[in-house]
Structure 1
Amino acid sequence: MQDGPTAYPDELPGVARACDMLAAGQALVVPNPPPMTYGVVATQAWEVNAVKGRPVDQNVAVSLHDPSEWAAVVPSLDLPSRALDGVVSLLGQRLSLLLPVRADRPPPRWVAPAVRAGQLAAFDGRWSPTAAIWDRFPRLFGSSANHTGWPPAATAQEARIALGHECEVIDGGPFDLESSSRRASTLVGVGRDGRLRLHRRGAQDQSWSSPGGYLAHLAAVAGMSVAESPEDPG
């Protein structure tokens, strides 16, 4: 919903054209803030899956960057009210989150492709260099920029090789780093008790030696707590 403490420059070249392509129903490869890899976004979940060469009905994460759309999802989250502000803080850390949903009150129909086994896969993709995309499209789905089974694209060149024949690639330019230093986003689960658990290591936690230490840091930032078993065995 807002950029973090890092200040980024103005809009990258090609963003205006990319907005028109999204409006026409095409998927798009976008750069993410370092040290994250590139991602694929689209207004429809099946478009993301089609570009990645996987079943069009596969679950895809949803970006909750728009305050109104976030407010519409909140009543469906099976979380203590005290945890909701913490979730917003976590989204601001560019994490991918798994959020429990209520069985008796499903989320808005448009986010259904992001729900699996009672968990909503969510992130916040908005950042300054591509902000016009997120501001124009309050409803966006996303995934890593790769075909299933292949590493996510760490640079614009890698993204063009992997998916450039399928969709437009916005070049991150000065934000491109060596492939070895970029990762897909860290995936953190929030339990129904509001406690945090690490489901997948990634860009945000790579400098931390242990899941517990990283989650303790997140918990302090978000005013939350850590599950007794901080790392998901699955």
Structure 2
Amino acid sequence: MNPDVGTVDSDGARRALSRGAAVVLPNPAPLTYTVAATGPRAVNTAKARPAEQAVALWAHDPGTLTALDDFLDLDAASTSLARRLLIEERVTLLVPIRPGTSLPSWLSPASQDGWTLLFGARWTPLLPVLADPILYVSSANRTGRPPAATAAEAIAMFPPAVAVLGSASLTGADRYPCEPSRAATTTLRLHPDGQLDLHRHGAQDHPYPNADQYLDRLRATHT
């Protein structure tokens, strides 16, 4: 049985994104699916939540990461740490905005109360789909429901107007004889002084007995 029956292929997902539609996209295990679009309203509408609600900016494009340097309250060492956490750990990351900074229109939807929310998964099989350098993203769930762990769950949850890209159509995507348990990404907060704390539990910290042990591992690996 094909678990991705009813999904679009990579070309279909890329076309849907280019016309401004929301698309549900797979992530590598142990992460759940996400919903992305070139505009924040499309993401929020797909999730059946207020159109102006803050969303994460998808830091999948190196140019986007470079452009962020002008607006974040991080020194060179913390900027390097933020990039490693986003790219290597695939976490979601809250980073501080430099006080008094006027934010560009592409960054404002991901910013609130002096912080910007960045999503970091750059899964190689998915990169050809992400032609737009600016994308907004959130967990693939309708309000009040858990994030979709499979394409079938996403198809059942979202309306037909929201395309779903199944992982089976991605070249180089991992295949598992037994599907691992999945969860939304862990969210970390990186402070201006370089201190790191856990903002929301998720897939990455789940294997650890407590948040401190997970954060200790990150500090040992990346600082």
Query: What TM-score, normalized to structure 1?
Result: 0.85
> Which structure 2 segments of 5+ residues have no match?
1-6, 169-174
Determine the structure 1 residue equivalent to 2:58: 63
Q: Secondary structure at the match of 1:71?
A: helix
Q: What is the aligned partner in structure 2 of residue 231 from structure 1?
A: none
Give, in angstroms, the shift of residue 107 of structure 1.
3.5
Count of paired positions: 210
Native 8 Å contact 1:87 1:222 kept in 2: no
For residues 176 and 51 of structure 2, the distance between their equivalents in structure 1, rounded to whole angstroms, comes to 31
User: What aligned pairs does 1:37-48 form with structure 2 within 5 A after superposition?
Assistant: 37-48=32-43
Aligned to 1:80: 75
Contact 1:35 1:182 in 2 (8 A): yes
2:172 corresponds in structure 1 to: none
**Residue type of the alignment partner of 2:112:** R
Q: Which has the higher contact order (CA 8 A, sep 6+)?
A: 2
Q: Which residue of 1 aligns with 2:3?
A: none
Contact 2:31–2:182 (8 Å) recurs in 1: yes
Asked if residue 213 in structure 1 is aligned to residue 213 in structure 2, the reply is yes
Tell me the SS of whatever aligns to 2:21: coil
Offset of 1:109 from its aligned partner? Answer: 2.0
What TM-score, normalized to structure 2? 0.89
Distance 1:113 1:176, change over 3 A: farther
> Residue 155 of structure 1 contacts residue 176 of structure 1 at CA under 8 Å; is this kept in 2?
no
**1:131 equivalenced with 2:127 (yes/no):** yes
1:109 is paired with a residue of what secondary structure? coil
* Farther off after superposition, 89-98 or 74-83: 74-83
User: Equivalents in 2 of 1:221, 1:21: separation in Å?
Assistant: 38
- Structure 2 distance, partners of 1:186, 1:177, is 23
Q: Give 1:230's aligned residue.
A: none
Give me the identity figure in percent.
39
Q: What SS class does the counterpart of residue 84 from structure 1 fall into? A: helix
Q: Are 2:185 and 1:185 aligned?
A: yes
Asked whether the 8 Å contact 1:34–1:177 carries over to 2, the reply is no
Q: What CA distance in whole angstroms lies between the structure 2 residues aligned with 1:161 and 1:203?
A: 23
Unaligned runs of 5+ in 1: 1-11, 224-234
User: Which residue number in structure 1 is paired with residue 28 of structure 2?
Assistant: 33
SS in 1 for 2:106: helix
Shift of 1:176: 9.5
Q: Which residue of 1 aligns with 2:4?
A: none
Q: C-alpha root-mean-square deviation of aligned residues, in Å?
A: 1.8
Cα contact 2:93–2:120 (8 A) shared by 1: no
Mapped to 1, the partners of 2:52 and 2:134 lie a distance apart of 17
Q: CA deviation at 1:126?
A: 2.4
SS at match of 2:107: helix
How is 1:154-193 mapped onto 2 (pairs within 5 angstroms)? 154-173=149-168, 174=175, 178=179, 181-193=181-193
Q: Which amino acid aligns with 1:109?
A: S
Instruction: Name the CA distance, whole Å, in 1 between partners of 2:222 and 2:115.
Output: 20
CA distance in 1, matches of 2:218, 2:46: 33
Q: Helix, strand or coil for the counterpart of 1:72?
A: helix
Match of 1:97 in 2: 93
Moved over 3 A (4+): 173-179
Q: Measured at CA, do residues 44 and 63 of structure 1 come closer, stay the same or move farther in structure 2, by a change above 3 Å?
A: same
